[in-house]
Structure 1
Amino acid sequence: MSTTTRTLLAALCASIALAPAAANAQSAALSSRAEPAAFANPRRLEQLSSAFPAIDSLMAAFAERSRVPGIAYGIVIDGRLTHVGTAGVREVPSRAPVDTASVFRIASMTKSFTAVAILQLRDAGLLSLDDPAERYVPELASLRATGDAPPITIRHLLSHSAGFPEDNPWGDQQLAATDEEMSAMMRAGIPFSTAPGTSYEYSNFGFAILGRIVANVSGMAYPRYITEHVLRPLGMNSTTLEASAVPASRLARGYRLRDGEWIEEPALPDGAFGPMGGMLTSVSDLSR
């Protein structure tokens, strides 16, 4: 790869939007769009676009190396979806091809939406990031790493510093857990690996708790809050937390490879752990 191509790739990667833009708590602000940054180079889009073939090659190589059934990806430059790539199939038996409307589960990218919801509630004056989480989730009231450890705050949960141990892939297996089952887990005691606020350790449980905070503070179920205050204002009308809500003709199904054969992994229904990784969306929707 030439030095010029490497430079263009680096510049382009800096321009890719991987998460939804944060929206304000007020509905009027939610429906407005911030003006994109202005750049002095009039040939910016043309120059960045010249790297698309190299990126397509990298993605094709990734798909082949990883032996994935199908992929879809997009590149957003200055607030606009400028390039889309797809490969493979969204359903193995029918060989139905992936397209820009195919809906994939995006796993932990869901956490970005949960964080947006928390910040909306913060901006609305309904909570503070330094509030103890137990104020909004009473099941956490007796949870302490040690007798003199500080309480877990919302900021700790957002920054993966609540002291919970890393919990992949356990978290993905809890997507269908009910609210009561999650409450029982918290009452039984979540294990700690360190005291809150002392170190980073990735926690799916922490973001499930943030989803509970969104529901308890807003007075509406997490999926409804996200739909009404984040997805719809952004025009993300194909995005959902429930796989069964996606038309069969658009759903990209999940598979695992066993003895050279793709075996479908049935999608778990949306439950209490959805805020940490249950969202499904398309390239065209996510680009918004």
Structure 2
Amino acid sequence: MTSPDASPDEPHVPRVPHEPDRPELRADCADCFGLCCVALPFAKSQDFARNKSAGTPCHHLRDDFRCGIHTKLRVEGYRGCTVFDCFGAGQKISQVTFEGVSWRERPESARAMYDVFPTMRHLHELLWYLSEVVRLPAAEPVHEEAQRAYDAIERLTRAGADALLAVDVPAVRGEVNTVLLTASDLVRATVPGRKKNHRGADLVGARLRAADLRGATMRGALLVAADLTGADLRSADLIGADLRDARLNGADLTGAVFLTQAQLEAARGDGATKLPAGLTRPAHWAA
């Protein structure tokens, strides 16, 4: 995996962020032109109070590109906004791809900016997962491979808009997924005994209270409204698991791999829920 601008003689420069919270891979609305509030569509539902077309600014978007109801999104019926994470793609497009010039200042760039957003978001999500791999001691055999993949994707994210639109995202995801799967296997192998395989399983509303899911693979599992109260999810692989309204009260997610803040924001938990390092307890969870 190489970027169009990569040189075979280019020295290896570690790019994986060393800060535990990886600020460059977290949304920074202060440096973004409100792209998620403009580029993406949403439909009136339990997640959004009204319809909005792609490319149309949300009526709550202020002139300074900040949300006018940010502190009360859930109360106002915009729960969907609270569970969306661009992984820092918004500020990368705003400040790097389009060099700090907004779609308001240069309306002719708006369409390209909106079109690039989904691609950049996918690439930044992959950067988040790869940055996690190199922090997992058990995944040491693939640290170097993960680092190379991170470097290549990071270079892609600094390409121009046309180059970004030409990126074959499924192909890039396929390459990275090989690394992520190996890392997951290495981490889960540290858990003794037979591990459960719920990959892609339909567990909507499942009763999994106090379930032993240590080292389980829950990749892509549908856990909508599942009851995971008191469940043991230590070292489980939760990449892509749908945790909307899943009950995580008292659950142990210590060391869970590839879990994201957005997944936690979509779920329900409490003060007894144990989280992996680098993730925070959502404000709407019970005390």
TM value normalised by structure 1: 0.28
- Structure having the higher strand fraction is 1
TM value normalised by structure 2: 0.29
| Larger relative contact order, structure 1 or 2 (CA cutoff 8 Å, min sep 6) | 1
